Amino acid sequence: MSAQQIDELWQYRAACRGPHSSIFFPPARLERRPDKRRREQRAKEICQTCPVQSDCLRYAVEIREQHGIWGGLTEKERRPLLN
């Protein structure tokens, strides 16, 4: 198994896997601000229980992910980490 494959194994232990994974990304249709806040808050609550939250955040910053909740942070909250 390569180092890259080992590094990606954290994704299999992520709390966001499963039927509720869609709340971590904005819907295809326009989302009202209160609905967005509720969706993001629920996603962040799930992140708080995740055993690989730091791996997820590190990955999102490393690949400069521009969408969704990763490691408990929104794209706006991750922006300062990209510098």
Task: Assess if residue 61 is contained within a domain.
Answer: yes
Task: Assess if residue 25 is contained within a domain.
Answer: no
Task: Assess if residue 23 is contained within a domain.
Answer: no
Phi-psi region of 73 (alpha: psi -120 to 50; beta: other; left: phi over 0): beta
Which 8-state DSSP code applies to residue 29?
S
Q: Which residues contact 15 (CB under 8 A, 6 or more apart)?
A: 46, 47, 49, 50, 51, 52
Alpha helices (H) along the chain: 3-8, 33-48, 53-62, 75-78
User: Looking at the DSSP assignment, which residues form a beta bridge with residue 8?
Assistant: none
Task: Assess if residue 24 is contained within a domain.
Answer: no
Task: Show the domain range for 46.
Answer: 3-16+30-82
Provide the domain count of the chain: 1
Task: Assess if residue 74 is contained within a domain.
Answer: yes
Task: Assess if residue 41 is contained within a domain.
Answer: yes
Segment 42-75, tens digit of pLDDT: 999 999 999 999 999 999 999 999 999 999 999 9
Segment 5-37, tens digit of pLDDT: 556 789 999 999 988 889 999 999 999 999 999
Angle in degrees, CA 81, 44, 16, rounded to 5: 100
